[in-house]
Copies of this chain bind each other. A is one copy, B any other.
Amino acid sequence: MDIREASDVKFAALADRTRRAILARLAMGEATVAELNKPFQISQPAISKHLRVLEEAGLIESVKLGQSRPRRLRPQALTELTDWLNGLQKLWSDSFDRLETFLASETPSPKKED
């Protein structure tokens, strides 16, 4: 049983360089397993494994289409991640602002720089 929640799985999926390359490729349009395998030296099963990870993270999706099963990006899935990072940045810059405000009000030296 895996109790990790959505963002765990998504961030973990992004942690691998090959998978990020696959995502970048898919951002330019859907592609089959064979096409995705081309640029890499690793075996086809290895790619299939990566695709499974990405799909279970909800980052990509696939449809059976005849003999092949092309993958495509699920861009909505990215927002959770960017939101987290943006939230972190905002949290920090806010607290930094507070710090600056604090320092400005507390600093005994009325002048600085130069």
A residues whose Cβ falls under 8 Å from a Cβ of B: 4, 7-8, 11-12, 14-15, 17, 20, 23-24, 27-29, 73, 75, 78-79, 81-82, 84-86, 88-89, 91-93, 95-96, 99
Residues of B near A23 (CB, < 8 A) are 88
Identical subunits present: 2
In the complex, A61→B69 CA distance in Å?
A: 45
Interface contact A27-B78, CB-CB below 8 Å: no
Interface contact B24-A20, CB-CB below 8 Å: no
Interface contact B85-A28, CB-CB below 8 Å: no
Residues of B near A12 (CB, < 8 A) are 15
Within the complex, the shortest CB–CB distance from A108 to chain B, in Å, comes to 21
Listed by A's residue number, 12 A-B pairs whose Cβ atoms lie within 8 Å are A8-B17, A11-B11, A14-B14, A15-B15, A20-B84, A27-B91, A27-B95, A75-B89, A78-B85, A82-B86, A82-B89, A85-B85
